[in-house]
Amino acid sequence: MLILVGILLISVYSISKVHTYEQCNCISEKVELKCFKCGEDIEEDYIYCPHCKERLKRACEGCGRMINIFWRQCPYCE
């Protein structure tokens, strides 16, 4: 009897875990980016702020990808 209850609990737990993932209605919210100088809205791929003309990205010296102006090291290079 005790073994049967344990199996039943494991089954219910497994089903509830699957059920939880299937019902996830997570909506990826868009993060609003702001210029660090003027505070106006910017897009992630902007190189310059269209409002105050502040430089937001620079080319990596190693790989040439555009990275945040404040990053000390490129996350794409080794």
Its pTM stands at 0.57
pLDDT tens-digit series, residues 11-21: 444 444 444 45
Q: Residue 58 corresponds to which tokens in the numbers above?
A: 């620079």
User: How far is Cα 29 from Cα 16, in angstroms, rounded to an integer?
Assistant: 26
User: How far is Cα 49 from Cα 43, in angstroms, rounded to an integer?
Assistant: 9
pLDDT tens-digit series, residues 13-66: 444 444 445 566 666 667 799 999 999 999 999 999 999 999 999 999 999 999
